[in-house]
Amino acid sequence: MTMAARSAVSGCSSALDRALAAGGGHRPVAEFLGLVAPGEVRDAVRRCLPVGTDAELHLVRAKLKPGRKLTAEYGVVLSPGGLERRILVTWVASGLPAPGRHASSEAEARRRGVLAPFRRSWATTGDGRMTVSVAPVDEAFPQLVRLHDPAHLHDLLARAFPAGPFGEVATGDVTVETVRYRPGHRHVLRVGAGVDGSAVFAKVYRDDTGRRTVGAAARAAAAFAAAGGEAVVTPPGPGAYSPAERAALWPEVPGTPLSEVITLSGRGAVDVVQAAGSTLRVLHDAGSADGSAEEPRSCPDAFGQAAETLRTAEVVDVLAPAVGARLRRTVGRVLESIAALPVEAPTLVHGDFKCDNLVVSGSRVHLLDFDRCGRGDPAADVGKFFADLRWWSAGDAAVRARLHAAFLDGYGAVDPARAARARAFDTLLQLRIAARRVPIQDPGWEERATRLVDAAVITLAEEPGP
């Protein structure tokens, strides 16, 4: 019997066809992910594990490309209290190719002993329309298998952080947990140094983006150091880059994400948001001279961000055409608004300034994730943060208004042109959030997406600039 035959499980093509069909609305998607997919996925995972092994599954993220494919990342816990493994499940429309096995990566994972307890890294339905890939196997990222090998990681991290804890920790105490597993795209791992010990996050790339990101973080650190006491938000400790692994390595910063602080305490996050504002201003006011030979990259302008928003909104166009049409009209009005405004010289910007990238620890807040850091319009950072504060305020207008005011108290004076552009970027980000953050499996997806688009329209038309 071939491996493909042993890995085959039954599928439910009719429900899948309804979920993928353009014009079918959102309900078939939610029903497929909520009622059909769990059984299919559980069956496939059992095929990959030793007989009698059970696993607890939970859906991490699902993404629909209408008429083509549906992908879902699941967390798999094999024992109570055990580390979570990740799998990626792909369902495709009839006649389209599905992902195949990653044969060489699977063989390497077996050799290094990092596939166990899974017996295989791939399974498919009999009709070939659903496939399951198991971390850490990904042919596009052969280094991912090595980065799950405790012995290899121990040596790599001891060299990258000679003053860190990995030189004193036994190889057997090194643990690896997948934070993000999306074959063909960037992966994220958390590497632990013993029980209750320090940890490092590894971001794994297809190219040398990680090297540029480590340099961008160093530029930001220099700006904060020059500001002295004015900056109460700091980046994490110095990162390291491994060219051989194409991985950026970052010491973990203990604390609570600002998004969680807002969710739990609402107005209690005022001081932290004010600190975020003051430090973003330090970043925006910093020059680019930091002794680095590499010039910061250019960040997408309003037209680039609008194009990204429209690409993201494809799912809204198909599942809720009236909402999608309103979203697209609003993007057009945003571009008209920005085109009529004065521009300013690019500054150093973070590029992804949002609550999940700010970690609260004691009296300080740490700024993370410099993948998109570069030179661009500072209004884009302000607008994105305003939109993100709206999301985490969960519709509470009073909390949102207080957090916006706290940010501006920290950020300082904003000239009218920057304020107007920030309002436009705020609108764009709200539209992107409507298309991207509402879980596609949520039965109330259309209602929530509609409310978010309506709020974005109001922001552009009525709300004064920050």
pLDDT by 10s per residue, the chain, length 466: 233 334 455 556 889 999 998 778 899 999 999 999 999 999 999 999 998 888 899 999 999 999 999 999 999 998 877 778 999 999 999 999 989 888 999 999 999 999 999 999 999 998 899 999 999 999 999 999 999 999 999 999 999 998 888 888 889 889 999 999 999 988 999 999 877 778 999 999 999 999 999 999 988 888 888 877 655 666 667 899 999 999 999 999 889 999 999 999 877 899 999 999 988 999 999 865 444 445 677 888 999 999 999 999 999 999 999 999 999 999 999 999 999 999 999 999 999 999 999 999 876 789 999 999 999 999 999 999 999 999 999 989 999 999 999 999 999 999 999 999 999 999 999 999 999 999 999 999 999 999 999 999 999 986 554 4
- Residue limits of CATH 3.90.1200.10 in the chain: 254-461
Non-local (6+) Cβ contacts of 151 within 8 A are 171
Non-local (6+) Cβ contacts of 153 within 8 A are 147, 174, 176, 191
Pairing of strands 130-134, 56-65: unpaired
pLDDT at 3: 34
pLDDT at 463: 52
Helix (H) or strand (E) holding 371: none
DSSP category for residue 346:
-
Is there a contact between 230 and 278 (Cβ–Cβ < 8 Å)? Answer: yes
- What distances in angstroms separate CA 22 from CA 17, 68, 344, 431, one per listed residue? 10, 9, 43, 21
Pairing of strands 122-125, 130-134: antiparallel
| Interatomic CA distance for residues 38 and 43, integer angstroms | 9
The C-alpha angle 445, 310, 212, rounded to 5 degrees, equals 105
pLDDT at 268: 82
- Residue limits of CATH 3.30.200 in the chain: 144-250
The C-alpha angle 33, 35, 37, rounded to 5 degrees, equals 50
Is there a contact between 173 and 165 (Cβ–Cβ < 8 Å)? Answer: no
pTM for the predicted model, two decimal places: 0.91
Instruction: Enumerate the H helices of 286-377 as residue ranges.
Output: 302-312, 314-319, 321-339
pLDDT at 465: 47
Tell which residue, 41, 43, 44, 97, has the closest CA to residue 69: 97
Phi, psi dihedrals of residue 444, rounded to the nearest 5°: -95, 20
Tell which residue, 2, 3, 19, 159, has the closest CA to residue 92: 19
| Interatomic CA distance for residues 203 and 186, integer angstroms | 7
pLDDT at 299: 85
| Interatomic CA distance for residues 177 and 192, integer angstroms | 8
Helix (H) or strand (E) holding 79: none
Helix (H) or strand (E) holding 208: none
Which CATH superfamily does the domain covering 254-461 fall into?
Aminoglycoside phosphotransferase (APH), C-terminal lobe (3.90.1200.10)
| Interatomic CA distance for residues 171 and 173, integer angstroms | 5
**Sole residue written with tokens 């609305």:** 25
| Interatomic CA distance for residues 286 and 358, integer angstroms | 19
Is there a contact between 308 and 431 (Cβ–Cβ < 8 Å)? Answer: no
Helix (H) or strand (E) holding 291: none
Instruction: Enumerate the H helices of 88-231 as residue ranges.
Output: 103-112, 143-146, 150-160, 209-227
19 C-beta neighbours (distance < 10 Å), count? 25
Non-local (6+) Cβ contacts of 358 within 8 A are 233, 257, 258, 272, 276, 365, 366, 367, 368
DSSP category for residue 54:
-
Q: Could you tell me the fold of the domain covering 144-250? A: Phosphorylase Kinase; domain 1 (3.30.200)
